[in-house]
């Protein structure tokens, strides 16, 4: 097996000509290294977040949903490192426990979008018929229904929960994923080696599984990473509107919308979940950056 792309060193892109404008330095030999650093940092952040999530399943300093009416809205103390919220619950414990719920919500939405989007995208790329045309048009129309609209309708029908909110976000992802996958899959489907496979009379399902999917898997991974951050942000926004995860759950979005009610008296309670969300998204975006770099290099 080849080494991971971030492990390879040595081959460098050196600009053929000295660049004069705006006093740019000569393209240095460190691009690759920096991209590795990007990946490392991203991977570190994401694994720390994941680790915290895992730890929270076994241990948190306090019960994240137990409240103590005597401890309402305390600032940071040695007993409660990040203070307590408006029901006297330990903020640090909630933040930790919320990691898992937030990641789960992000994963759920992204999985819906990626799974259906990729499947439909490949289908549309491989079969040029009336059905695929209808699917494409349906995708265009689905674009006109933002996640918010879907979430509102789902919440109105079933009551708001993590599932309704994230299903809405996931459904809204589908047309985007479908389009991107379609383009990439079409490219692969029309490439020489697939043509050869087709000329052997191999089944379409076989081609899809053996040739097309492996070739777009890196693109799908990239999309997953990007959409993950969008999903986490959407969860927060929907929770704020009361369309997301219901309140006792310590999902970060819920913590944000809860604490936004007391932002004037206890602004720190807003800061913690904001930081947590920002850091997680930073981690995933850094990973995405590094992946794009890899895709770029490949296409060259």
> Which residue number, 196 or 263, has a Cβ lying nearer to other proteins?
263
DSSP 2: P
Q: Which of 123, 166, 237, 251 binds other proteins (CB under 8 A)?
A: 237
Which phi and psi (to 5°) does residue 179 adopt? -65, -50
166 is an interface residue for other proteins by CB under 8 A: no
* Residue 202 engages other proteins in binding (rule: CB under 8 A): no
Residues, the chain, total? 300
Closest-CA residue to 284 (of 109, 47, 7, 35): 47
Return the number of the residue (100 or 176) whose C-beta is nearest other proteins. Answer: 176
Size of the site for other proteins (CB under 8 A): 95
Stretch that binds other proteins, among 54-62, 188-196, 208-216, 221-229 (CB under 8 A): 221-229
CB nearer to other proteins: pick between 56 and 164 = 164
Residues between 272 and 291 that touch other proteins (CB under 8 A):
274-275, 277-279, 281-282, 285-286, 288-290
**Three-class secondary structure assignment of 20-50:** CHHHCCCCCCCHHHHHHHHHHHHHHHHHHHH
**Residue 260 touches other proteins, criterion: CB under 8 A:** yes
221 binds other proteins (CB under 8 A): no
Beta pairing partners, 84: 90
Q: Which of 117, 101, 95, 99 is nearest to 169 (CA)?
A: 117
- The candidate with the shortest Cα–Cα distance to 267, out of 259, 257, 277, is 259
Site for other proteins in 81-110 (CB under 8 A): 86-88
Task: Rule CB under 8 A: choose which of 12, 156, 195, 217 binds other proteins.
Answer: 156
């Amino acid at each position: 097996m080849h080494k991971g792309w971030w492990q390879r060193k040595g081959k460098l892109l050196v600009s053929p000509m000295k660049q004069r404008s705006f006093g740019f330095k000569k393209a240095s030999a460190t691009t690759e290294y920096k991209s590795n650093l990007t990946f490392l940092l991203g991977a570190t952040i994401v694994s720390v977040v994941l680790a915290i999530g895992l730890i929270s399943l076994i241990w948190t300093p306090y019960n994240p949903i137990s409240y103590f009416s005597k401890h309402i809205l305390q600032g940071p103390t040695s007993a409660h490192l990040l203070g307590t919220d408006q029901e006297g619950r330990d903020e640090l414990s909630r933040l930790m426990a919320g990691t898992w719920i937030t990641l789960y919500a992000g994963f759920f939405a992204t999985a819906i979008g990626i799974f259906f989007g990729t499947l439909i995208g490949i289908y549309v790329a491989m079969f040029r018929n009336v059905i695929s045309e209808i699917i494409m048009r349906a995708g265009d129309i689905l674009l006109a229904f933002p996640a918010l609209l879907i979430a509102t309708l789902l919440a109105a029908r079933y009551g708001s929960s993590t599932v309704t909110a994230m299903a809405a976000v996931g459904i809204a992802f589908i047309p985007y994923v479908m389009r991107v996958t379609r383009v990439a899959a079409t490219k692969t489907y029309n490439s020489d080696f697939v043509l050869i496979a087709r000329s052997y009379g191999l089944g379409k399902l076989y081609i899809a599984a053996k040739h097309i999917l492996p070739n777009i898997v890196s693109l799908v991974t990239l999309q997953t990473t990007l959409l993950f951050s969008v999903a986490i942000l959407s969860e927060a926004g929907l929770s704020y509107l009361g369309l997301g995860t219901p309140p006792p759950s310590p999902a970060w979005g819920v913590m944000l919308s809860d604490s936004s009610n007391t932002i004037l008296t206890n602004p720190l309670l807003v800061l913690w979940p904001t930081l947590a969300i920002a850091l997680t998204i930073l981690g995933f975006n850094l990973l995405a950056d590094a992946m794009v770099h890899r895709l770029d290099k490949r296409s060259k």
